[in-house]
Amino acid sequence: MNLRTLRRRIRTTILASAFYFGLLIYPLIRLIDWLIPGWQPGTFELLALLVLPPATRIISSTFPGAFTRRLAVISMTWMGLCFQLFSVVIVLELVRLISPISDTDVGLIGLTAILILGGWGLINAQLLKVRCIPLFAGKSLEGKSLVQISDVHIGSRSPMFLRRIVKRINELQMDAVLITGDLVDDDVGEDDLQPLAELNATVYFILGNHERYADTERIVQHLKAHNVIVLRNEAVDADPFQFIGLDDAEARDTVKKGLSNLSKLNNRYRVLLYHRPEGADDAADWGIQLMVSGHTHQGQIFPFNYLVKRIHPRMHGSFDVDGLRLYVSPGTGTWGPVLRTNSRCEVTHFQFLGDSKAALSPSAT
């Protein structure tokens, strides 16, 4: 290991430690200190606060299984609550500077705030919303519809959650179901994905970044066993649609390069499935008419949405890009903490209309 690599690792370790202690540990210790003046944690309490949350995540990665996954989800949810508590504590610190309020009262306000914020996040993460997006593409597509789900994250979420999603989708009328990546975030078993076989339409799937982090080929085989069509840098003719799927990648020019190797079909409505909301301009130049993405989770929990917005300006919703419609899903599930405060878990229903006046605004149910 050369000196430059060593310095980089030391710098990364310092930054990660500062993030962990500053954003996750400090707010909790501060809240306890306000509520219990003179609190002196012992060795066991310190270990529980400092080591247990990340340790359970490491154990889950080292010894994968249903039980360790549940432990990891509890741990990640705990850390998510601490992350939300950070903003509450910072505000209360400022209040203490300008108001003669007692520490106990400050602690009670902080506790109430995080119980409300965390409780809402936990409940909201269980709710499923169907969002209807009207599209005008001419008389030939009138009456057609597509359903998109994205970022379900089976592993962080249970297979029972996937079963609820499938049941909700089957209540809709659709010609195809589009899964735009991050269906899983662990090496889940084939049985965990079995609900997908119950969908009442053809299902197309593309890789997200979490499928790349896991055993990709094993996941692909599980999906094919349940009649899911996996599109890996390829196109399929599904008259009146042409569905095109590209593997997730870090490179900014992935869409441009991927489409350059494919042929577009005339007299088809061309739909691109790509996990990240990037490359829409290149897709429009190629001739894509609808691009569906996910990845951002719309920030998932406050105040993480502000950071995500800086990285992905097209964080959520519909965007018109030179004649292409880009739709960025907020995600159907959650990753890490089972918390969602900035949006709802969404099943997106694209409905093709024959009257352009009816396609002015999306609606939700």
Q: What is the CATH number of the domain that holds 161?
A: 3.60.21.10
Stretch among 115-129, 186-200, 313-327, 338-352 having the lowest mean pLDDT: 186-200
| One domain, residues 64 and 193 | no
Residue 297 CA: distances (Å) to CA of 76, 161, 164, 184, 291? 16, 17, 19, 14, 17
Is the domain of 71 the same as that of 175? Answer: no
Cα 146–chain centre separation: 20
Number of domains in the chain: 2
pLDDT digits (tens, 9 = 90+) for 69-103: 788 888 889 889 988 999 999 999 999 888 888 88
Length in residues, the chain:
365
Distance CA 171, CA 167 (A): 7
132, 111: one domain: no
Which domain, by its residues, includes 91? Answer: 3-124
Please tell me the distance from the alpha carbon of residue 279 to that of residue 147, in angstroms, as a whole number: 22
| Of 331, 243, 319, the residue nearest 278 (C-alpha) | 319
- In this prediction, residue 358 carries a pLDDT of 43
Residue 112 sits in the same domain as residue 144: no
* ω into 41 cis (within 30 of 0): no
Could you say which DSSP state residue 208 is in? Answer: -
Residue 291 shares a structural domain with residue 247? yes
pLDDT at 44: 76
Whether residues 190 and 307 fall in one domain: yes
Q: Are residues 28 and 118 both part of a single domain?
A: yes
Higher-confidence residue of 326 and 103: namely 326
Structure-token match 């370790």, residue found: 13
Residue 362 confidence class, pLDDT cut points 50, 70, 90 = very low
With 50 as the cut, is the pLDDT of residue 363 above it? no
Amino acid letter for position 99 = S
Structure tokens at 120: 């809402």
Q: At what angle do helices 43-50 and 52-62 cross, to 10 degrees?
A: 50
Q: Are residues 237 and 320 in the same domain?
A: yes
Alpha helices in 99-228 (DSSP H): 103-124, 159-169, 209-213, 216-225
pTM score, whole prediction: 0.87
Same domain, 226 and 201: yes
The 10 Å Cβ neighbour count of residue 345 is 25
164 lies in the same domain as 300: yes
Check: CB of residue 345 under 8 Å from CB of residue 351: no
- The structure tokens listed for 28 are 């909790």
| pLDDT higher than threshold 60 for residue 134 | yes
Tell me what pLDDT residue 344 has.
93
Per-residue pLDDT at 361 exceeds 70: no
SS3 call for 357: helix
> At residue 159, what are phi and psi to the nearest 5 degrees?
-60, -25
Average pLDDT value for the chain: 88
Query: Any idea what the Cα angle at residue 240 is, between residues 358 and 272, rounded to 5°?
Result: 80
Beta bridge partners, 346, equal 129
Domain boundary among 73, 96, 124: 124
Q: How far is CA 240 from CA 69, 166, 236, 264, 271, in A?
A: 42, 24, 11, 13, 11
Q: Which of 124, 148, 178 is the last residue of a domain?
A: 124
How large is the average pLDDT for residues 252-256? 93
Amino acid letter, residue 119: G
Residues 33 and 173 in one domain: no
Query: Could you tell me how far CA 40 lies from the centroid of its own chain?
Result: 39
> Going along 68-183, which residue ranges are E strands?
128-136, 145-149, 176-180
Q: Using the predicted structure, report yes or no on whether residue 359 has a pLDDT greater than 50.
A: no
pLDDT at 333: 95
pLDDT band at 117 (very low <50, low <70, confident <90, very high): very high
Do 142 and 83 share a structural domain? no
- Kindly tell me if the per-residue pLDDT of 324 is higher than 90: yes
CB 203 within 8 A of CB 177: yes
Q: Which of residues 124, 157, 178 is at a domain's end?
A: 124
Q: CA angle at residue 256 from 254 to 257, to 5 degrees?
A: 65
